[in-house]
Structure 1
Amino acid sequence: MNGGPSGFHNATVTKAFVLAFALFTVFVGIQDRSSTLGLSYQDVFRKFNLWRLLTSGFAFSSTPELMFGLYLLYYFRVFERQIGSNKYSVFIWFSMIVSLLYEVLLLFLVKDPSKVLASGPYGLIFSSFVPFFFDIPVSTRFRIFGIHFSDKSFIYLAGLQLLLSSWKRSILPGLGGILAGFLYRMNLFGIRRMKFPEFVTSFFSRLPWPSAGGSSPTASSGNIIANMPSYTGRPVEGNVPSVPLTSSMEPPEDSIATLVSMGFDRHAARQALMGARNDINVATNILLEAQGH
């Protein structure tokens, strides 16, 4: 199992947020303000510190949290490739807002001035574990000292490490993220049909971010699969529908890898791309139609 092509190919929104979280964490660390970012009852309900509400979810309070958090965010870029940048942007903001409301409600109910929640994008990270659990298939299984593992186990272990990094301070925001993930999956208020306008997400592709290995500067930041059904996590079995192989050009490896990262069989992905003249949107529709038969 992998997150698809290396770098941020077809994941420009994820790239923007990962860099923003990293830079903001470094900035507040230099200012020696990392320990003051977490939400507390004192800040929210007595000082009415709105600045803290807006910034608490954008910076981690320690280097280990930053490392595990950015690793998970980088891996979860696979979801942007699956549903497209426009819909994934809605998922990001929905997760962060719901988890923030959960934290505020929790502080109000507990009313403990000494309780400070961990800062950082816990809502976004742990909401992503919901589609990761339900939609990403296991590709390999193995045993270590008699204990069964899968290739997904390493992502779960990284998430567990982050969740327990500050004990209750990090567990509670993490649970808020899981709640947000389930609400999104339940399609609360029809949230899964919503998407940002094209010009909003295309803005990220025009930003002069430093290039990462495997990232394509010409990759579209819009929906790769603009209106495709929800990812089912099941690889295509058998052959794709009979289509004329109108392109003799070998499909690009990154296009094949993108389809494979969605759970499709590599050979079927290659056939579909050749029949679709290497158009990844058309190839995806061919594979999804084959999956429905």
Structure 2
Amino acid sequence: MNGGPSGFQNAPVTRNLVIFCAFLTVLFVARGRSTSLGFSYQDIIQRLRFFRVIPSIFAFSSIPELIFGVYLLYYFRLFERQIGSNKYSVFVLFSLSASLLLDVLALVFLKDRTTKILASGPYGLIFASFIPFLFDIPISSQIRVFGIPFSDKSFIYMAGLQLFLSSWKRSLVPTICGLLAGSLYRLNVFGIRRFKFPQFIESFFSRLSWSAPRRSPPRINVRRNVPTSANHHLERSFGSTTTSIVEPPESSVAILVSMGFDSNLARQALMRARNDINMATDILLEAQSR
């Protein structure tokens, strides 16, 4: 199990989230205002200090929390590569909104008027991501340490546990609400997993992306030697494979393989999608659902 190639390749939403969270956290810590992050029942219900919500959603209250939080956000970029940036943006928006609503409901129920029981930072998104991580990401390797079995997923759970324990009581409610938000998304409440942002919104944010320009590889005529049955399946699902296409870069094939797709099918999907990895992912998922 891995997140594919290193860096933020094909994960612009994750990159912008990491940069934004790190910037806000460092800004508040440097100015000595990290203690003002987070909100309580009194802030939201009585004084209506809604201006505290945005920085409290994205900024961590300490550098150790930032380190573990950014690491987890960076690792979970594999979901953006798996479902595409558009649908991942919907997942981010839903997770943050649903967990925030559950946080407020928890504050109303607990009616804590004295302390800020909620830790600041994107706990809702991070712990919502643990739900698909638990159910959809397979274990690829196992090791034993002093006779205790560990998988490659164990270290991610340990990082999540460390983040949870960093604020303890303050992080309990955001953690639970994040897990509930991830469960609601997985259960496809309101058909949320089918939602996508309109094309004009996606195009607008694509122009704001800081991705480096890509050089188009040379066009060549390719016909892959695959078994007859597999070739029939590919032609039925993806179309003919004998047209003039762009040879898929191995890095793109590796990303799709890391998601669990067969390398030959991944290559054919990339050919069909003209090396658009998000479109190739949609093609592969659609073919699997048939």
Normalising to structure 1: TM-score of the pair? 0.82
Deviation at 1:33, TM superposition (A): 1.2
Q: Is contact 2:234–2:268 with CA below 8 Å preserved after alignment?
A: no
My pick for the range that moved more, 263-272 or 177-186, is 263-272
1:103-182 counterparts in 2 under 5 A? 103-116=103-116, 117-182=118-183
- The AA in structure 1 aligned to 2:19 is L
In structure 2, the CA distance between the partners of 1:265 and 1:44, relative to structure 1 (3 Å rule), is same
* Separation in 2, partners of 1:181, 1:74: 17
1:251 is the counterpart of 2:274 = no
1:38-64 Cα shifts (integer Å, max 9, x gaps): 111221122110101232101000001
1:26 is the counterpart of 2:45 = no
Q: Is contact 1:5–1:254 with CA below 8 Å preserved after alignment?
A: yes
- The AA in structure 1 aligned to 2:53 is L
* Separation in 1, partners of 2:65, 2:6: 23
**Structure 2 unaligned runs (5+)?**
216-228
For 1:91, the equivalent position in structure 2 comes to: 91
Q: Is contact 1:184–1:192 with CA below 8 Å preserved after alignment?
A: yes
* Separation in 2, partners of 1:286, 1:239: 15
Deviation at 1:159, TM superposition (A): 0.7
In structure 2, the CA distance between the partners of 1:118 and 1:87, relative to structure 1 (3 Å rule), is same
In structure 2, the CA distance between the partners of 1:273 and 1:47, relative to structure 1 (3 Å rule), is closer
In structure 2, the CA distance between the partners of 1:206 and 1:80, relative to structure 1 (3 Å rule), is same
Q: Is contact 1:272–1:286 with CA below 8 Å preserved after alignment?
A: yes
* Separation in 1, partners of 2:200, 2:272: 30
For 1:65, the equivalent position in structure 2 comes to: 65
1:112-144 Cα shifts (integer Å, max 9, x gaps): 223311100000100011111111111112211
- The AA in structure 2 aligned to 1:160 is L
What fraction of aligned residue pairs are identical, expressed as a percent? 63
In structure 2, the CA distance between the partners of 1:260 and 1:110, relative to structure 1 (3 Å rule), is same
In structure 2, the CA distance between the partners of 1:278 and 1:59, relative to structure 1 (3 Å rule), is closer
Provide the secondary structure at the position in 2 that maps to 1:196.
coil
Q: Is contact 1:99–1:180 with CA below 8 Å preserved after alignment?
A: yes
Provide the secondary structure at the position in 1 that maps to 2:58.
coil
**Structure 1 unaligned runs (5+)?**
210-214, 220-237
For 1:190, the equivalent position in structure 2 comes to: 191
User: How many equivalent pairs are there?
Assistant: 270
Deviation at 1:147, TM superposition (A): 1.1
| C-alpha RMSD over aligned residues | 2.7
Provide the secondary structure at the position in 2 that maps to 1:15.
helix
1:46-61 counterparts in 2 under 5 A? 46-61=46-61
- The AA in structure 1 aligned to 2:176 is L
Deviation at 1:68, TM superposition (A): 0.6
In structure 2, the CA distance between the partners of 1:285 and 1:51, relative to structure 1 (3 Å rule), is closer
1:76-96 Cα shifts (integer Å, max 9, x gaps): 111112222221111111111
- The AA in structure 2 aligned to 1:2 is N
Q: Which has the larger radius of gyration?
A: 2
Q: Find the partner of 2:257 among 244, 257, 260.
A: 260
- The AA in structure 1 aligned to 2:182 is G
Normalising to structure 2: TM-score of the pair? 0.82
In structure 2, the CA distance between the partners of 1:277 and 1:95, relative to structure 1 (3 Å rule), is closer
Deviation at 1:206, TM superposition (A): 2.8
